[in-house]
Amino acid sequence: MAKKVDDSVLDAALNELKNKCNLMTVCTGEPLTFAAANVGGANFLGDVAMIATDFTLANGTVSGRKLSVATKAGVNVDASGTADHVALLDSVNNIILYVTTCTALGLTAGSSLTFNGWDIEIADPA
């Protein structure tokens, strides 16, 4: 039996991220709560404001759909530590929308960093 999903179903999930994410944070370790990932939290190292135009919805690289997250340069680092996770937050509703790993990078408070562009992809069912 074949499996199929309409793009609109996948787009609904990705648009939830696009429309509600207003803050991207870099963290040391995986934040398990909104408070830990948010400004001043236990895992928090730095942040940048996000708006819907920082995200682009498109066909997936292999299949399905993807949401591309824009590059953000000149982001101030607030706390020193090893960055290894990135979190997309909805600070209006105090929700972690998405967490992923990133290449480990030692950060020093007072410096700046660049979030390179990256994708969130949901594949078609197989």
- The tens place of each residue's pLDDT in the chain, 126 residues long, gives 789 999 999 999 999 999 999 999 999 999 999 999 999 999 999 999 999 999 999 999 999 999 999 999 999 999 999 999 999 999 999 999 999 999 999 999 999 999 999 999 999 998
Q: Which neighbouring-strand residues pair with 46?
A: 26, 77
**Euclidean distance between CA atoms 35 and 37, whole angstroms:** 6
Which pLDDT value is given to residue 2? 87
Which pLDDT value is given to residue 66? 98
**Euclidean distance between CA atoms 45 and 33, whole angstroms:** 15
